[in-house]
Chain A
Amino acid sequence: MNMHAKHSADATTVEEGLAIQEEQAKFDDDFATETAMSNTLLTPRFYTTDFDELDAIDVTSVRKDWDALIAQMESDPNKGHFKKNEDWDHVDWDGMEPQLKAEFIDFLISSCTAEFSGCVLYKEMKRRGSNKDITQLFQLMARDEARHAGFINDALREAGLRVNLGFLTQSKKYTYFRPKFIYYATYLSEKIGYARYITIFRHLEANPEHRFHPIFKWFEEWCNDEFSHGEAFALLMKTDPKLTESFANKLWIKFFLTAVYSTMYVRDHQRPAFHAALGVDPDWYAHEVFTKTSVLTGQIFPLMLDIENPRWQRNLERMQRANVQIAQGKKAGGFGGFVKRMIGSARAGAAFVSLYTIPAIKHDVPDSTVLRPAY
């Protein structure tokens, strides 16, 4: 794709930035017309929460670590990183094996949507809050998510796909998250996101022949953003010890860990060609990511899942088979399809209960949550 001498991410004045963008827009309009891009609809989710509760957070008890993290995010070490340079190799989309292409595009769209939903959620929290510490954090995180979404969007455009924001003018329902569930879920999604991206990045560093798309070269800095976001949520949880220490909340934490890990396992197994092209065995990958995530989340969660327990792998596989059955039932339709789906759901439920009831490994949480990306 075309190379620009300068990118708007490097612009020092507004005028310069606009000029660069205008230049780029001209090119891209031509590009769009040339390739008759097809639409891909983004379907983000919309959330509300208890904004008063969020506003009442007091970060005084973690002030030193908090200020250091915010200062680091404000300095924006990744500004200008998410752009194409000479490392962006040509991608032979037409020559790509169709199944791989479908799975890879699916991967890009899911990633773009997740970044986009994160951005909408963080921006809403920024807008509805009045606590300066909290609004500042969410503003910074919204910035990163929008930047990542823009970068993935560019890769999609290169593949001839244009994102469609049609959802904006459609009815959208706002669902509800309790603040503590936002902490658990977003914390975990940021940390597991880091573990996922860095595992692929390191694997491709050692096996560059499997890097079938240049976007993987950008995963290292990318996941460092995810890492910082996770650090922020760890500090937020640290301000209220009940969130991680009460009996009920420990059960919730275990639930979130089990749900996120098992969902990842099932979904990754739906992309066999993608993982084969990367030279990654999805079972090995899952185990790597879970191991890293367990170590990382030890900074704040007082328990980790026992992924070495024989029941763990066995039930993940059961869940995966049940999921295939559900998909087949959906596809078949009719009464037979319905029955198949229901049996599949019951099996998936049973597998989940079995995973959830594996005794967790308890451990002591360090006084300070601060971690550096070390993988």
Chain B
Amino acid sequence: MGLLTRTKEEVPCVVTISHRFEELSAHVKFTDGSVVGPGDTVKVHGAEIMAPYGEVVEDERMATITRASGIERLWTRATGDFEFMELCEFSFSEEVTV
């Protein structure tokens, strides 16, 4: 990891989507054991994935992990905490205004 430079890694992953009544979820797992750190960006290759309603699908894909530069990592560590509000149910949409 450079102080100012980003590096890219191509890694295999499995995308699992459950689009069922009893579970709506989606997870990306890197099969080579790669882990992401603060400020890293992940992009899964290929077309959009969606399971038909009532099903679970698993798809093996490649993903690009763009590693944050040293500066970005520090910045994310210092400021990321302030995005905590996103976890509250009342905090997401900004579509409705008075």
B28 at interface by CB-CB < 8 Å: yes
* Contact bitstring B23-46, A, C-beta under 8 A = 1, else 0: 111111100000111111111111
B contact residues around A166 at 8 Å (CB): 48
Neighbouring B residues of A32 by C-beta, 8 Å:
53
Which among A28, A142, A270, A331 is the interface contact of B53 at CB below 8 angstroms? A28
Interface residues of A in 310-366 (CB under 8 A from B): 324, 327-328, 331
- A193 touching B88 by the CB < 8 A rule? yes
Number of interface residues of B (CB under 8 A): 55
Residues on A with C-beta less than 8 A from B90 are: 110, 196, 263-264, 267-268
Q: State how many residues of chain A have any CB contact under 8 Å with chain B.
A: 87
Provide the A77-111 mask, 1 if CB < 8 A to any CB of B, else 0: 00000110000000000000000001100100111
B49 close to A168 (CB less than 8 A)? yes
Interface string of B2-37 (1 = CB under 8 A from A): 000000000000010111111111111100000111
* Chain A, 150-206, CB within 8 A of any chain B CB: 150-154, 157, 163-166, 168-178, 181-182, 184-186, 189, 192-193, 196
**A9 near B21 (CB under 8 angstroms)?**
yes
Per the bound structure, the CA–CA distance linking A127 and B30 in Å amounts to 11
Known: A82-B22, A169-B43. A270 touches B97 (CB 8 A): yes
**Residues of chain B lying within 8 A (CB to CB) of residue A169:** 43-49
A192 to B66, CA, bound (A): 36
Q: What residue of chain B has the Cβ atom nearest to residue A264's Cβ?
A: B90
Give the shortest distance, in Å, between A60 (CB) and chain B (any CB).
28
Q: How far is the CB of B91 from chain A (nearest CB, A)?
A: 6
Chain B hits for A196, CB < 8 A: 89-90
User: How far apart are B97's CB and chain A's nearest CB, in angstroms?
Assistant: 4
B21/A24 in contact, CB under 8 A: yes
User: Shortest beta-carbon distance, A114 to chain B, in Å?
Assistant: 4
- A48 touching B81 by the CB < 8 A rule? no
In chain A, residues 198-229, which have Cβ atoms closer than 8 Å to a Cβ of chain B? none
Q: Give Cα A330 to B77, complex, Å.
A: 29
Tell me the complex Cα distance, A9–B96, Å: 35
Query: In the complex, which residue of chain A has the Cβ closest to the Cβ of B78?
Result: A176
Q: Which residues of A contact B39 (CB under 8 A)?
A: 173-176
Residues in A whose Cβ lies below 8 Å from that of B23 = 143, 146-147, 149-150
- Closest B residue to A26 by CB, please name it: B54
Rounded to whole angstroms, the CA-CA distance of A10 and B17 in the bound complex is 21
Q: Does B69 contact A (CB under 8 A)?
A: no
CB-CB under 8 A for A25 and B52, given A168-B28, A169-B47 = yes
Contact between B38 and A176, CB atoms less than 8 A apart:
yes
Instruction: Give Cα distance in the complex from A170 to B46, angstroms.
Output: 10
Q: How far is the CB of B34 from chain A (nearest CB, A)?
A: 12
A21 lies within 8 A of chain B by Cβ: yes
- B76 proximity list for chain A (CB < 8 A): 174-176
**Complex alpha-carbon distance, A181 and B54, angstroms:** 36
Min CB gap A24→B, angstroms: 5
Q: Across chains A and B, which 4 residue pairs bring their CB atoms closest together, nearest first?
A: A25-B54, A176-B80, A176-B38, A185-B84
Binding site for A on B (CB under 8 A): 15, 17-29, 35-50, 52-55, 66, 76-77, 80-81, 83-98
- Known: A9-B22, A169-B45, A270-B98; 6 extra A-B contacts, CB below 8 A, are A8-B22, A82-B21, A114-B87, A157-B53, A264-B88, A268-B90
23 A–B contacts from the bound complex (CB under 8 Å): A8-B22, A9-B22, A25-B55, A29-B52, A47-B80, A112-B24, A114-B86, A114-B91, A116-B25, A119-B25, A145-B25, A146-B23, A147-B23, A169-B49, A170-B43, A172-B43, A174-B41, A184-B84, A185-B87, A193-B88, A196-B90, A270-B97, A328-B97
